[in-house]
Amino acid sequence: MAQGNRADYRVVPLPDRIDGIKDGDFKLTSDCVIDYPLGNRDMERNAAMLSDYIEELTDIHLSTRPVNSANNNKGCITLSLDSRVKSDEGYRITVTSRAVEIAGKTPAGVFYGIQTLRKSIPVGKTDQVLLPAAQVASTPRFGYRGMHLDCVRHFFGVETVKRYLDIMTLHGMNRLHWHLTDDQGWRIEIKKYPRLAEVGGWRNGTTLGHNSPVNDGIRYGGYYTQEEIKEIVRYAADRYITIIPEIDMPGHMVAALTAYPELGCTGGPYEVWSLWGVTDDILCAGNDQTLQFVNDVLDEVMQLFPGTYIHIGGDESPRVRWQECPRCQQRIMDLGLKTSGQQSAEALLQGWFTTQVQQYLNTHGRRVIGWDELLGCDVDATATIMSWRGSEPGAQGAMQGHDVIMTPVDPLYFDYYQTSKTWNEPTAFGGCNTLKKVYDFDPVAPDLPADKRHHILGAQANVWTEYITCEPQIQYQILPRMAALAEVQWLEPVDKNYQDFKARLPRLVEIYKHYGWTYRAKSLIQDDEDKTD
């Protein structure tokens, strides 16, 4: 048997433990059957997916079979639930010459074991793969292992979003932060406000390059129907990925204002934006109708997205319109908000607005995530903070008792360049986040006190799409940096080793190639300097 047909459990992310067992290899052939517990729909789907993965990679077809209890069928792969596995998403794979067992405390844990087995198998048509006898076990370091995708600045259809979820699945990730609304487009159908998608979903052209004076003049847009959103949410859930929708407010709202100008301070008219950046036009916080609108939109959002968290943005919200707006100023008076120290009355008004929305979501059993700007406006500690302007705001948030997700621009903005030598790279936002910088990132600052560390829920890379116009370009920006992020999310810092990771990466890339995903090949060949100009 050629060496090429032996599985290697040293995949990405690297399992915590790989302990050899003194036994012969298990022969994976089409005679093997995948057993799963009878009557468990999640485990049935897990089994079907494992069968599909093996067939996609090797052409070996395995059938699946429900079983009543653990029976010792010779030559079988058994998926099982085992309460002795410590964490909910942890797994244990046991391979002997006669059997393979993938066990988890939950079906999600079993699924991560399936991903590891899948990645350990060499890509290529064959009729037999040898699995060395071993026990393999792992537990993710963080419960929140995210990727973000901006589907506003450029719009990507259902199939592209599903493939993005497929890529996340291969990397053991479990949260998609889906950016659905912004100045340049409104991408989610809201039945009560049909103009949001019909009018707000389209812009009259797009600036060329980095906000040049030249506009391409091409009408651009699109949106997801509620049926499409349900389909994507279901597709994600089948892969144990929760989608967190972002409805960004009170800033980044020009698409909505174009559709409903009465929600802005000046009353408009507004035009869905064709530039990038931050605009002064935001929702009017002095108008009761605005809060009604937000609650109505969130009602439909909550129906579509069953996860606990809703992201309500809060970033880059200039307050110049509020300073001039009689209704906003009246609200400030009525609430008795007063400028104190660094905090303007308008910042406190954003805090009040956010708190209204937060309370509305809380009464529906949901929790809020917002960008780190919320720390400056007196929002209470039940809001989870997404730290993007570096890791320091997140550390401060954790000190104040907020849960925190780390997505610092440096190094987790994957719309940034991956090298300082940018001349042959597709246009990107700027910056330089190399593969190594991503790998070396630790979401938990070394000086964060022990009793605050639990507030750091995890890490996520953000993919803003001002300069990303098509799916291969998305993939180029995220691969292979997602592989480095996966080890940040799964491994304890002491278990990370960049050179070792680089040695394991080519086998993961074989899988990227197999699925036809675009990736930055140069990142495999040599390390990029991480200096920024």
Active-site annotation, residues: 182, 252, 316
410 binds ligand ACM (CB under 6 A): no
What are the structure tokens assigned to 234, written together? Answer: 């279901």
CB of 335 to Zn ion, least distance (A): 14
Contact 156, 471 (CB under 8 A): yes
Q: Using CB under 6 A as the criterion, what x/- string covers residues 259-298 for binding ligand ACM? A: ----------------------------------------
Using DSSP's 3-state secondary structure scheme, residue 385 falls into strand
Q: 118 vs 319, which CB is nearer to ligand ACM?
A: 319
Residue 195: phi, psi to the nearest 5? -70, -20
In the complex with ligand ACM, the residue whose CB is nearer, 261 or 431, is 431
325 binds Zn ion (CB under 5 A): yes
- Side chain identity at residue 56, one-letter code: E
* Contact between 349 and Zn ion per CB under 5 A: no
- Within 10 angstroms of residue 226's Cβ, the number of other Cβ atoms is 15
Q: Which of 392, 386, 483, 468 is nearest to 436 (CA)?
A: 483
Q: Does 316 engage in binding with ligand ACM (CB under 6 A)?
A: yes
Closest approach of ligand ACM to the CB of residue 385, in Å: 12
Q: Which is nearer to ligand ACM, 156 or 371 (CB)?
A: 371
Q: How many CB atoms lie within 10 A of CB 261?
A: 14
Partner touching 388 among Zn ion, ligand ACM, none, CB below 5 to 8 Å by kind: ligand ACM
> Can you tell me the distance from the alpha carbon of 485 to that of 477, in angstroms, rounded to the nearest whole number?
13
With b for 16 or more beta-carbon neighbours within 10 A and e for fewer, the 459-468 pattern comes to bbbbbbbbbb
Please select the residue that binds Zn ion; options are 7, 34, 236, 284, rule is CB under 5 A: 284
Minimum Å gap between C-beta 99 and ligand ACM is 49
516: Cβ contacts below 8 Å, ≥ 6 apart: none
State the number of binding residues for ligand ACM (CB under 6 A).
4
Least Å distance, CB 265 to Zn ion, is 3
Spell out where 193-237 has E strands: 202-204, 219-221
- Structure tokens that stand for 347 in this block: 């910042």
How far is Cα 65 from Cα 100, in angstroms, rounded to an integer?
15
* Cβ atoms 412, 441 nearer than 8 A: yes
The amino acid at 447: D
Smallest gap from residue 440 Cβ to ligand ACM (A)? 22
Q: Which of 202, 322, 388, 490 binds ligand ACM (CB under 6 A)?
A: 388
User: Which of 328, 463, 478, 483 is close enough to bind Zn ion by CB under 5 A?
Assistant: 328
Tell me the window of 129-137, 151-159, 255-263, 277-285 that interacts with Zn ion (CB under 5 A).
Answer: 277-285
Interface residues with ligand ACM (CB under 6 A)? Answer: 315-316, 371, 388
Interface residues with Zn ion (CB under 5 A)? Answer: 265, 284, 286, 325, 327-328
